Amino acid sequence: MGSLVCARNVSKKFGDLRAVDDVSFDIAKGRITGLIGPNGAGKTTLLKAVLGLTDCQGSLSVLGLDPFRQRKELMKNICFIADVAVLPRWIKVSQLLDFLQSVHQNFSRGRAEELLAQTSIKKTSKVRELSKGMVTQLHLSIITAIDAKLLVLDEPTIGLDIIFRKEFYGNLLSDYFDEERTIIITTHQVEEIENLLTDVMFINNGKIVLDSPTEDLPERYVELMASADGADKARQFKPIYERDVFGKKVMTFEGVSREQLRGLGELRTPDIADLFVAKVKGAAA
């Protein structure tokens, strides 16, 4: 399995601010990677580097190309969506299809029209006349009609209610994703996408603090909910983070086996959102 994105010692500074700080990682073909971090963590800067929108120090290869110096060639095989609400409100659906057909060589108008025919969207309608759900359907039809090797989604469902967010991701998996395509997603609604992800990368203060396949997380991390007595005994195993929940201690451990903690409380695999908090706040502490 080759690397579709390969970064080695990548950094980006803005004056004295190091927005991306010496990061190295690989993203393999046919994976769905969640890039997760708080505001100001470096997510957007890193995505801009991957998309060739900004230069950087270090070595960065996307689809075997230098994204900054070979961006025109690279964008033939990348689809980028920042927000499903960014389509021009004045444009007609037919005009949008005309535009995409003229600028993207891998856009299949026939496929887009086939998908739109399954909806109630009329090609004569303007975007401003469509409901949020219909705009979501329009955007998904466009995405699915572009034969891109890499899809980058930066907070794609901002402003959509939970029904349309779930529809967006569900249709993305059923109509777009396959073993030849790769998706990078950033979102603050981690709980909604964690079951989709094959890999997670946590970024904070410009540094990658976790880079792992999701299938490996249960072996590396365990969460213990314990009473005060159990928590006191568990601290000998050096939790990376602990918090109070309804009078009990919830402790997150890295590299500690469940057998070592058995009998001290309730054990579970932390979800991705809780693990992110543990890694970030634990490191700060």
Residues 146 and 63 in one domain: yes
Residues 199 and 255 in one domain: no
Which among 154, 182, 205 is the end of a domain?
205
- What rounded mean pLDDT belongs to the chain? 90
Q: Is residue 39 part of a domain?
A: yes
pLDDT digits (tens, 9 = 90+) for 83-130: 666 788 999 999 999 999 998 888 999 999 998 998 889 999 999 999
Residues 173 and 233 in one domain: no
pLDDT at 69 over 90: yes
Closest CA to 57 of 102, 85, 26, 24: 24
Residues 190 and 250 in one domain: no
pTM: 0.87
Residues 179 and 276 in one domain: no
Question: Can you give the CATH number for the domain in which 77 is found?
Answer: 3.40.50.300
Number of domains in the chain: 2
Question: Which 3-state string (H, E, C) describes the chain?
Answer: CCEEEEEEEEEEEECCEEEEEEEEEEEECCCEEEEECCCCCCHHHHHHHHCCCCCCEEEEEECCECCCCCHHHHHHHEEEECCCCCCCCCCEHHHHHHHHHHHCCCECHHHHHHHHCCCCCCCCCEHHHCCHHHHHHHHHHHHHCECCCEEEEECCCCCCCHHHHHHHHHHHHHHCCCCCCEEEEECCCHHHHCCCCCEEEEEECCEEEEEEEHHHHHHHEEEEEECHHHHHHHHHHCCCEEEEECCEEEEEEECCCHHHHCCCCEEECCCHHHHHHHHHHHHHC
Q: Is residue 191 part of a domain?
A: yes
Q: Is residue 134 part of a domain?
A: yes
Which among 171, 205, 239 is the end of a domain?
205
pLDDT of amino acid 218: 94
Question: Can you give the CATH number for the domain in which 251 is found?
Answer: 3.30.70
Residues 228 and 156 in one domain: no
Residues 19 and 101 in one domain: yes
Residues 103 and 65 in one domain: yes
Q: Is residue 211 part of a domain?
A: no
Structural domain of 259: 216-284
Which among 157, 185, 205 is the end of a domain?
205
pLDDT at 161 over 90: no
pLDDT at 188 over 90: no
pLDDT digits (tens, 9 = 90+) for 211-262: 999 999 999 999 999 988 999 999 999 999 999 988 899 999 999 999 999 9
The residues pairing with 34 across neighbouring beta strands, listed in sequence order, are 185, 200
Q: Is residue 108 part of a domain?
A: yes
